[in-house]
Amino acid sequence: MRFMMLTIQKTRVEARTDAEAVATLTTFTRELQRAGILLAPGRLHPPSTGARLSFSNGKPKVTDGPFAEANEVIGGYWLIQVKSKEEAIAWASRCPASDHDVIEIRQVQEFGQVWELADLP
């Protein structure tokens, strides 16, 4: 089973960019890699550099960041492959998160669970 572990931070809290914080997250990422469960890690640029598309009547409206209505931002992720949600929770529990961080775990739906790859245009 594949799971995304998403790091979510309150927008009023500064993103962890100091060298010590980056080093501890790098160490955690290496632990996932050594365990053979890490498929892809990533850190996201701040919302101020992003864009959001909202759709009305099939037409997109583009809003450049930052997004005033956002209370939380996704700061990064780890895509892992483990045997169960409980195992994903166990790994997320080992993350060196700060007091205001949240890690959300979401199972990735495989193509066959919703649609077949052959059905795509």
- For the record, the structure tokens of 9 come out as 């931070």
Q: What torsion do the CA atoms of 97, 18, 52, 69 make, to the nearest 10 degrees?
A: 70
Which residues have a Cβ under 8 Å from the Cβ of 75 and sit 6 or more positions away?
Answer: 7, 8, 9, 15, 16, 43, 44, 101
Instruction: Give residue 117's pLDDT.
Output: 61
Over residues 58-95, the pLDDT tens digits come to 999 998 887 767 778 888 999 999 999 999 999 999 99
Q: What is the mean pLDDT of the chain?
A: 86
- The mean pLDDT of 34-43, rounded to a whole number, is 97
User: pLDDT exceeding 70 applies to what percent of the chain?
Assistant: 85
Q: Domain extents for the chain?
A: 2-109
This prediction has a pTM of 0.80
On whether the 2-109 domain is CATH 3.30.70.1060, my answer is yes
- The mean pLDDT of 8-34, rounded to a whole number, is 79
